[in-house]
Amino acid sequence: MRVAAVILMLSATAALAGYPDGVPGAEVGRLVRAALSAAGEKASVTDPIRPYPPCDAAPAVTGQGGAWGNVEITCAAPRWQRVLRTGLGPVPRITLTPDEPVEEPKALTLRRSLAKGAPVGADDLELAPIAGLSPDQVFTDPADVVGRHLRQSLGTGRAILARHLEPRWMVTPGAPLVLVAQAGGLSVSAPAEAREAGGEGDVVLVVNLSSGREVKAVVTGPNTVTAQTNMR
């Protein structure tokens, strides 16, 4: 294969006139095909859709890097250069190498096995890489987990998910409560005891320790409930 710069000129009249309005795409294609033919190469080159910039004479067409897979089309004045792919030879592969290694996401996992119903302590937890779980499925802040009870037994190394934990109760059965009653702009409180567990906004059954009566009340805070006059 003859690999050399091949300069093709237009007719004498066109060469003198140059391309003040830009080199038409059809003319670029003709120049490239002629250069390939002169180099003993055969390729079906599609004419560029848009014209190339103005040039005072016919641009030179050369093989890029000693091969004809890409050709360089160069104008001497005004100086510009374009590269056009001919389709000859293999398409070069580009291998992307990340600047930094990708770090696996981490989640709170158990240092030791815990049985169903056991409270999770700070010493039971560690951050460890996980696989197959998305960040919105796992916990990363110990404050979201410590003190909560497990719905099921979990083994060492297991990532803790929301479905593994009991709800964060504000009142639990047998716990002492403050029962607040409101009526007519007045508010009074009495000692009470929870009969059911509940989170904020839940309606639970409690017993008023002053009267011994069971009433339904809304959980309004940690160990605090508010009785409603319209509840049965």
User: What tens digit of pLDDT does each residue of 172-200 get?
Assistant: 899 899 999 887 778 889 999 999 988 88
User: What's the domain range around 39?
Assistant: 6-85
Cα within 13 Å of Cα(72), Cβ side = 15
Picking from 164, 185, 209, the residue at the C-terminal end of a domain is 164
Q: Quote the CA–CA distance of 64 and 86 in Å, as a whole number.
A: 11
Same domain, 15 and 69: yes
Check whether the bond before 105 is cis (ω within 30° of 0). Answer: no
Same domain, 131 and 61: no
Q: Quote the CA–CA distance of 77 and 189 in Å, as a whole number.
A: 95
Strand partners, 6: 61
Q: Is residue 19 part of a domain?
A: yes
Q: Is residue 99 part of a domain?
A: no
Same domain, 59 and 112: no
Domain of 220, CATH number, reads 2.30.30.760
Q: Is residue 18 part of a domain?
A: yes
Please report the pLDDT score of residue 104 as a whole number: 72
Domain of 148, CATH number, reads 3.90.1210.10
Whole-prediction pTM:
0.41
Assigned token pair, 211: 């009267």
Q: Quote the CA–CA distance of 26 and 20 in Å, as a whole number.
A: 16
Please report the pLDDT score of residue 8 as a whole number: 40
Average pLDDT along the chain: 83
Structural domain total, the chain: 3
Count of H-run helices and E-run strands, the chain? 2, 11
Q: Is residue 92 part of a domain?
A: no
Task: Find, among 24, 22, 27, 25, the residue nearest to 10 by Cα.
Answer: 27
Q: Quote the CA–CA distance of 185 and 56 in Å, as a whole number.
A: 94
